[in-house]
Amino acid sequence: MTGQPIPSLRSQLAVLAALLILLAASASLSRLPLGWWGLVIGTVIAIGQALLVLVIFMRLRHSHPVMRMIAVLSFAWPLLLVALTLGDYLTRYLLHAPW
Amino acid sequence: MNATLPEAAVQQQFDDASQQKEAAMLGMWAFIATEVLFFGVLFAAYVVCRWRFPLAFVEGSAHTDFAMGTAETAILLTSGCLAAIALRQIQLDCARQSAILLMITSALGVAFLVLHGMEYHDEFEEGLIPGIRYTQTGPDARGVELFFSLYYVITGFHSLHVLIGVVLLLVMAIRTWRGTFSSAYYTPIEITGLYWSLVDIVWIFVYPAIYLVGSAG
Please determine, for residue A95, whether its predicted confidence score (pLDDT) is greater than 80: no
Q: What is the pLDDT of residues B158-205, one digit of tens each?
A: 999 999 999 999 999 999 999 999 999 999 999 999 999 999 999 999
pLDDT at A3: 60
In angstroms, the separation between the Cα of residue B121 and the nearest Cα of chain A is: 23
Q: Report ipTM (2 d.p.).
A: 0.91
Mean pLDDT in residue range B79-104:
97
CB contact at 8 A, A19 and B77 = yes
Instruction: Report the residue from B80, B142, B217 with minimal CB separation from A57.
Output: B80
In angstroms, the separation between the Cα of residue B198 and the nearest Cα of chain A is: 9
Give chain B's mean pLDDT: 93
Residue to test with chain A: of B77, B91, B94, B213, most A Cβ within 10 A: B77
In angstroms, the separation between the Cα of residue A65 and the nearest Cα of chain B is: 11
Q: What angle do CA B67, B123, B130 make, to 5 degrees?
A: 135
Count A/B contacts: CB-CB distance under 8 Å.
149
Amino acid at B52: R
Residue to test with chain B: of A40, A47, A52, A53, most B Cβ within 10 A: A53
Q: Provide the H-helix boundaries in chain B.
A: 17-52, 54-62, 66-91, 95-125, 141-177, 187-211
Mean pLDDT in residue range A7-21:
97
Look at A1 and B39 and tell me if their CB atoms are within 8 Å: no
Look at B43 and A82 and tell me if their CB atoms are within 8 Å: yes
Measured distance CA(B80)–CA(B188) in Å, rounded: 16
Least confident residue range of A40-44, A47-51, B148-152 = A40-44
CB contact at 8 A, A56 and B15 = no
Does an H or E element contain A26, and which?
helix A9-29
Please determine, for residue B120, whether its predicted confidence score (pLDDT) is greater than 90: yes
- Evaluated on CA atoms B108, B110, B112, B118, the torsion sign reads negative
Of all residues in chain A, the percent with pLDDT exceeding 90 is 62
Of all residues in chain A, the percent with pLDDT exceeding 70 is 94
Look at B194 and A58 and tell me if their CB atoms are within 8 Å: yes
pLDDT at B216: 60
Of all residues in chain B, the percent with pLDDT exceeding 70 is 95
Q: Is A57 exposed, middle or buried (0-12, 13-18, 19+ CB in 10 A)?
A: buried
pLDDT at A1: 43
Please determine, for residue A97, whether its predicted confidence score (pLDDT) is greater than 90: no
Q: Is B139 exposed, middle or buried (0-12, 13-18, 19+ CB in 10 A)?
A: exposed
Look at B52 and A94 and tell me if their CB atoms are within 8 Å: yes
pLDDT at A36: 80
Residues of B in contact with A99 (CB under 8 A): 142
Measured distance CA(B89)–CA(A16) in Å, rounded: 17
Please determine, for residue A92, whether its predicted confidence score (pLDDT) is greater than 50: yes
Residue scoring higher pLDDT (A96 or B86): B86
Contacts of B76 (CB under 8 A, 6+ apart): B108, B112, B199, B200, B203
Residues of A in contact with B1 (CB under 8 A): 2-4
In angstroms, the separation between the Cα of residue A42 and the nearest Cα of chain B is: 6
Q: Is A65 exposed, middle or buried (0-12, 13-18, 19+ CB in 10 A)?
A: exposed
